[in-house]
Structure 1
Amino acid sequence: MCGPYQPVAGPDAGVHDPVPRAADTRRAPGPHWKVTAMTALVHTAEPIDLTVVRDQVEQVVEEFLAAKAAAASGAGHPPEVVRILRDFLASGGKRLRPLLCVVGWHAAGGDEDPAAVLPVAASLELYQTFVLIHDDIIDDSALRRGRPAVHRALAARHVGHDSAARLGAGEALLAGNLALIWCQELLHTAELDTPRRAAVHRVNDTMLAEVMFGQYRDLLGTERLDDDIEAALGIIRYKTAAGTIQRPLQLGVAAGGGDEETHRFCTEFGVPLGEAFQLRDDLLDVFGSPDGRSAPGLNDLREGKHTVLLALAMAGAGPGQRVRLRSLVGRARLDETGAAEIRAILEATGARDGVERMISARYDRCLEVLAGAALPERATEALRRLAVTATQYTA
């Protein structure tokens, strides 16, 4: 599994058409809300300041949600709905997806005011909020970023009610839906000419469908515990690689008027990096991080997620180890004693080391692709930094 990486064809469908640079640079009319955030991203040879980019994206999201909160108050809507989303966004996250989007704009040689790409990048944070809230409902996760998952926090407001869990899940579901609706609305505020706007929405529509299919595959995967590594990688490619790395990059490229070759680069770079990102996340969920910033967890083991880590363990396990894995993995009441036994098997079978080698191979592949790409140097340098962030992800 650590040989040369070959990207699959599936996640590329429909988004590699060349996007011409239009002669007509008139902007489509925007809605009443528009970006007023800083526009310090100057198109120069200076390195891209990712901290500034993150701050700009957060400012765009905050301004957008502040406007939504005011509108909700004026209409007499429950004020806590917007507050739920604002609190969730403030709880953490490295803003990897919007950072990749803005770097994609630079990779395409974006030659207009960078403010045009910020709503596109910021929309990814609202989309990720939707995905994570719903993911936690599906998995009935207790925690997210060290805090009670949204559906659990909302259920706690109904303590003593017979349907507290159902009410909390329903409220979280609707809050997540609103995040999805608003991410689309925010995307529409990007002041792009018609061809670029169409290209952005084409990539975005593809991403939405891919991640939903990936989530569905992930659910089906909890019914099996076997050594099918390719099936586990298939879940990663659609659920994570596309929505975390490949498509956010392509959204920026589309906004910047990138050509077919630059879109293709996003796949050749983004799919292996997205796989490495999820492989690292799987290790962190089970083993935690050496620096203690990420604690070992039980979620994936209790849910019986069909991860590459477990598939490798099943492939290398003896008969007795397979029996123990099948009796422990997927048990809803799995405790730390059982988890420690699973971890020991993952170590003994070489599964943990195997996943580390797969991460390294994919990271190396990303650097090879990057070295051969004809991108502006500032975009190349930023992508090198983000590749490290993705493969050493701890929060």
Structure 2
Amino acid sequence: MNPNEVGAVVDAVLTGFLDDKDHRSPAVELLYFSGQLRGLLSAGGKRFRPLMCVTGWSAVDGGPPSDIVYRVAASLELFHCFALIHDDVMDHSDTRRGRPTAHHALAARHRDHANPAELGVNAAILLGDLALGWSYDLQVGPPSPTTEQLARMQPTWDALRTETLIGQYLDLAASGRRTADLDTAWRIIRYKTAKYTIERPLHLGADLAGGSAQQLRALSDYAVPLGEAFQLRDDLLGVFGNSDRTGKSIEDDLSSAKHTVLIATALQRATPTQRRILHRLLGKPDLTEDQCDQIRAVLTVTGAVATVEQLIATRCDAAAQALHTDHLHPAAVAVLHQFAAAATSRAV
């Protein structure tokens, strides 16, 4: 199984699905909204979740994925569009994947409106709702999963939706608090990334293939530590990354005082002087580059950065150890090893 080929097939499924939606509706407004989704989908994105879904199938079945598997995998990408659009509204983000976020793009289209910013936000909420609804349409076909496959998938989809909501709520509630509460930081990671990005997509593919309880457990043993490592790397990139490569501002996490393991660890270890710097600057909406550098310096000298790097390494090791099992197909195991290396050592 070639991950690049999986991404290409998923993109073709998404394009065909949107073409069909455009063809069925005479409303020009819908064409504009579907165009916004096309723009978000074409602006990048690594197709992690679809790849995990297809890999979950291969880990159980061992054979080539069916069209049904690819439709369910592609539906995860539309669900992700919904989550990103709403997330950007809640976080007041300006850019996504190097482009204006949906609410900014929609506001720019209506510059002559009495309140273009408010219209942009409201229209983006509608766009996210559309992506969510269409993700369900996409997964049920045609071609359609069997009644047995739908029954197996439903609890996993329910869990994915619930866990995504919980993770986002925890993230919103914790942002701006500037606390050393590591427990909440870890819960955010597990709900918002480990389960949403890795575990549930793998489970969906395995469900379609009729995976056993042992196979689902083996996938979870791999997915949870890898998902944690993935988000820990993302949090480092959110502060120390290159915005030209990541496609988002590296000041956003600091100006919103995003509650991460990185920040909580630094606050836990900081001297009084260092803690005052963090409390004074974290969450400041108009941070200068010099002030960002002051925060980065504290994160480094407290050892928080080195600690997070070590946490990434230990969780990658745990994920690799989980793949030493006879329950999963060897070809899929090889892909999962490759994915772990790429996802946690990435620069974007």
Bin of the TM-score, shorter chain as denominator length = over 0.9
Q: Deviations over 1:291-315 (max 9, x none)?
A: 9734861111111111000001011
CA distance in 1, matches of 2:148, 2:228: 31
For residue 158 of structure 1, what is the aligned residue in structure 2? Answer: 110
Of the candidates 44, 48, 62, which is equivalent to residue 92 of structure 1?
A: 44
For structure 2, list consecutive stretches of 5 or more residues without a partner in the other structure: none
For residue 70 of structure 2, what is the aligned residue in structure 1? Answer: 118
Q: Give the SS at the match of 2:268.
A: helix
1:285-300 correspondence runs (5 A): 285-288=238-241, 293-294=245-246, 297-300=250-253
1:347 aligns with 2:322: no
CA distance in 1, matches of 2:319, 2:13: 30
Q: Deviations over 1:121-142 (max 9, x none)?
A: 0001000000001110000101
CA distance in 1, matches of 2:192, 2:77: 16
1:303 aligns with 2:250: no
Cα deviation for residue 52 of structure 1 reads 1.2
Residue type at the aligned position of 2:17 = F
1:308/1:373 CA distance change after superposition, 3 Å: farther
CA distance in 2, matches of 1:132, 1:172: 10
1:207 aligns with 2:160: yes
CA distance in 2, matches of 1:180, 1:113: 24
CA distance in 2, matches of 1:373, 1:349: 42
Q: TM-score, normalised by structure 1?
A: 0.84
Cα deviation for residue 374 of structure 1 reads 2.6
For structure 1, list consecutive stretches of 5 or more residues without a partner in the other structure: 1-47
CA distance in 1, matches of 2:84, 2:226: 20
1:370 aligns with 2:323: yes
Cα deviation for residue 200 of structure 1 reads 1.2
CA distance in 1, matches of 2:180, 2:5: 44
Residue type at the aligned position of 2:120 = G
The answer (yes or no) to whether the contact 2:22–2:30 under 8 Å persists in 1 is: no
1:181 aligns with 2:133: yes
Residue type at the aligned position of 1:236 = I
Cα deviation for residue 160 of structure 1 reads 4.9
1:181-330 correspondence runs (5 A): 181-189=133-141, 191-288=144-241, 293-294=245-246, 297-330=250-283
CA distance in 2, matches of 1:65, 1:292: 29
CA distance in 2, matches of 1:357, 1:380: 24
Of the candidates 20, 24, 37, which is equivalent to residue 71 of structure 1?
A: 24
Q: Deviations over 1:37-86 (max 9, x none)?
A: xxxxxxxxxxx1111111111111110011111122x2554420110001
User: After the TM superposition, which of the residue ranges 382-391 and 89-98 deviates more from structure 2?
Assistant: 382-391
Q: Deviations over 1:97-156 (max 9, x none)?
A: 100100100111265862221111000100000000111000010110111111111111
Q: Give the SS at the match of 2:250.
A: coil
For residue 340 of structure 2, what is the aligned residue in structure 1? Answer: 387
Residue type at the aligned position of 2:35 = R
User: After the TM superposition, which of the residue ranges 109-118 and 232-241 deviates more from structure 2?
Assistant: 109-118
CA distance in 1, matches of 2:232, 2:307: 10
CA distance in 2, matches of 1:232, 1:158: 38
Cα deviation for residue 271 of structure 1 reads 0.8
Q: CA RMSD in A?
A: 1.7
Q: How many residues align?
A: 346
For residue 123 of structure 2, what is the aligned residue in structure 1? Answer: 171
Structure having the larger proportion of residues in helix: 2
For residue 79 of structure 2, what is the aligned residue in structure 1? Answer: 127
The answer (yes or no) to whether the contact 1:277–1:393 under 8 Å persists in 2 is: no
Q: Give the SS at the match of 1:293.
A: helix
CA distance in 2, matches of 1:112, 1:345: 50
Q: Give the SS at the match of 1:108.
A: helix
CA distance in 2, matches of 1:53, 1:127: 18
Cα deviation for residue 260 of structure 1 reads 0.5
Cα deviation for residue 159 of structure 1 reads 2.3
The answer (yes or no) to whether the contact 2:85–2:125 under 8 Å persists in 1 is: yes
Q: TM-score, normalised by structure 2?
A: 0.95
Using the aligned pairs only, state the percent identity: 42
1:18-57 correspondence runs (5 A): 48-57=1-10
The answer (yes or no) to whether the contact 1:312–1:351 under 8 Å persists in 2 is: yes
Q: Give the SS at the match of 2:136.
A: helix
Cα deviation for residue 223 of structure 1 reads 4.0
CA distance in 2, matches of 1:129, 1:292: 21
Of the candidates 89, 106, 112, which is equivalent to residue 58 of structure 2?
A: 106
1:144 aligns with 2:78: no
